[in-house]
Amino acid sequence: MRVFALLAVISVSLWGASVWAAEPENEKPVVNPPPTAKDWADLAKLPDWSGVWNPKITDQDRQAKTNVPPWNPKAAALVAHQLAEEKAGRPPPLFVNCLPEAMPAWMLVTHNAMEILFTPGRVTLLGESDGNRLRRIYTDGRPHPDDPDPTFHGHSIGHWEGEALLVDTVGVVPQAYIAISEAAGVPNNGDMRIKERIYLASKDVLHVDLEITAPKVLTAPWKTTRIYFRQRARKFDIVEGVCLEGYFKEGTDKDGNAIYVPVKHDVGGNRAPPE
Amino acid sequence: MKRYLYLSAFIGVIAAFPASAHHSTTMFDHAKSVTIMGTVKEVHWTNPHVAIYIYGTSGEVKEPTLWLMEMTSPGNLVRAGGWSRTAVKPGDKVTVDFSPLRDGKRGGALKKITIAETGKLYTADIRAQERANLEEQPAK
């Protein structure tokens, strides 16, 4: 017993020493300063992007045919196959696993609304229908990390140029699709960079200009603009969206407790029809 | 690298049990329209897709049977079709027009549902919300 206790003490000590060694000595951590009254007041000078923004899906449909990304031959072959499958009634299930649509697919092919929040040093995009659809765009002047941890939405930094927000995004997981529809797209495969210019094209229409560089699948940067409409009616406010909710239906257990009961789904992503 | 391995393993697990997230709808034959009349059995007002189960008859199928109607998300239905969580309720007598599944199974993409008692109808075209300030010119 004593031997085990001794081993435990040694293990904990070694772990502590390794953690301690990982912290560079004498290097102060970067601290995000508390916002000042001026920081909050300055937000009022930004353009009004409040409300709910729903995408122009018919324009997504149109661009899938008229603004094709400059795919490399391998990617082009995959997309051609996907489009043929979709036309044949077997749409490839790119986004049926409830992982985030991720960047840039969220901006490119979403069918769901979003809202945009301004706080000092940051712009935040929150999407409807997926609780995990969230972008943080840092506007506090920080650079990208040297080696950002790959994430679904990447590491985004932005700055204002007049009324437009210019955003630069790197560090997106290589699995994230560059999608032209919900049924056609290619994983970016790494080293992708996304530049965006977000601005009001008119009073209640938001444009997102994107330039996507993805050397593993595109032969040149691809440019596209996506369009969103503003809604202000309270009944159109963003609602909670939990993608996995569709897995279940409401039920009751043997003790009368309210529970969720799994629902069968088919491969295409719909609930399985009755037998 | 290890992170990617974990992620790949996670994706593999999920893929074995597909969920109902965002997908194209060409598994439905949008060139066709089928009508059923019957009674609503269940309403699943859930993200990312709403579903309604209806017990009813259709065309030559005179024996009442259960049908599944798939739709877009609750948020989109509110904006595009004037729906609410209680717009359609279990027990409602309804008539439904829908695009049927190509594989012949008893399911479809709902196009229009009319409630017999009130005559009220709801549509489910996700592309019917493509203008700003929808409340100023409600959907027809």
> Considering CB atoms only, which of A101, A233, A240 is closest to B22?
A101
Percent of chain A with pLDDT over 90: 76
Closest CA to B98 of B136, B68, B129: B68
Q: Is some CB atom of chain B closer than 8 A to the CB atom of A111?
A: yes
Closest partner CB to B18 (pick from A54, A97, A236): A97
Same domain, A215 and A269: no
- Structural domain includes residue A100: yes
Cβ of residue B19 closer than 8 Å to a chain A Cβ: yes
Shared domain check, A195 and A87: yes
A190 touches chain B (CB under 8 A): no
CA pair distance B74, B80, nearest whole angstrom: 10
Give me the pLDDT at residue A272, please: 84
Residue A217 sits in a domain of what CATH number?
Answer: 2.40.128.20
Instruction: Residue B130: list chain A partners with CB under 8 A.
Output: 54, 56-58, 229
Which of A50, A271, A275 should one mutate to test binding to chain B, selecting the residue with the greatest count of B CBs within 10 A? A271
How many domains does the structure of chain A reveal?
A: 2
Determine the distance from the C-alpha atom of residue B29 to the mean position of all C-alpha atoms in its chain, rounded to a whole number.
14
Is residue A94 domain-shared with residue A155, that is, in the same domain?
A: yes
**A187 plus A254 within the same structural domain:** no
Q: Hey, what domains does chain B have and what are their CATH numbers?
A: 22-136 (2.40.50)
Q: Chain B: nearest CA to A150, how far in angstroms?
A: 9
Beta strand A134-138 pairing with A184-187: unpaired
Is residue B127 within 8 angstroms of chain A, CB to CB?
A: yes
Could you tell me if A236 lies within 8 Å of chain B, comparing CB atoms? yes
What is the residue-level pLDDT of chain B in tens, covering all 140 positions? Answer: 344 444 434 333 333 344 456 777 888 888 899 999 999 999 999 998 999 999 999 877 788 999 999 999 999 999 999 999 999 999 999 999 999 998 888 899 999 999 999 999 999 999 989 999 998 875 55
Q: How many CB atoms lie within 10 A of CB B35?
A: 14
Return the number of other C-beta atoms located less than 10 Å from residue A265's C-beta: 18
Of all residues in chain A, what percent are helix, strand and coil, respectively (each to 5)?
25, 35, 45
pTM of the model: 0.86
- What pLDDT, on the 0 to 100 scale, is given for residue B18? 43
| pLDDT single digits (tens) A113-135 | 999 999 999 999 999 977 778 99
- Cα–Cα distance measured from residue A98 to residue A112, given in angstroms and rounded to the nearest whole number: 14
Which residues in chain B touch residue A174, judged by CB atoms under 8 angstroms apart? 4
Chain A residues in contact with B20 by the CB 8 A cut-off are: 96, 246-247, 265, 269-271
Domain extent at residue A260: 242-275
* Chain B residue with minimum CA distance to A244: B19
Nearest in space to B72 (alpha carbons), one of B97, B52, B92, B100: B52
In a domain, A4, yes or no: no
Same domain, residue pair A258 and A227: no
Answer yes or no: do A216 and A248 share one domain: no
Residues of A in Cβ contact (< 8 Å) with B127: 57-58
- Residue A253 belongs to a domain: yes
CA distance B116 to chain A (A): 24
Q: Judge: A231–B76 Cβ closer than 8 Å, yes or no.
A: no
Do A200 and A263 lie in a common domain?
A: no
What mean pLDDT do residues A144-152 have? 97
Please name which of A200, A268, A154, A221 lies closest in space to residue B108, comparing C-alpha atoms: A268
Q: Identify the band that residue A274 occupies on the pLDDT scale cut at 50, 70 and 90.
A: confident
Average of per-residue pLDDT across A3-25: 51
pLDDT(A17) > 50: no
By CA distance, what is A56's nearest residue in B? Answer: B130
Provide the 8-state DSSP code for A86: H
Which residue does chain A place closest to B125, by CA atoms? Answer: A57
pLDDT of residue A15: 53
Q: Which residue of B has its CA nearest to A206?
A: B132
Report the pLDDT value the prediction gives residue A58, as an integer from 0 to 100: 96
Q: Kindly indicate the confidence band of residue A36, based on its pLDDT and cuts at 50, 70 and 90.
A: very high
Q: What ipTM score was computed for the predicted complex, to two decimals?
A: 0.84
The answer on A184 and A84 residing in a single domain is yes
Q: Which chain B residues in 77-96 lie under 8 Å from chain A, judged by CB atoms?
A: 78-79
| A38-61 residue pLDDT tens | 999 999 999 999 999 999 999 999
Q: Which candidate in A52, A53, A58, A96 is best for mutational testing of the B interface (most B CBs within 10 A)?
A: A96
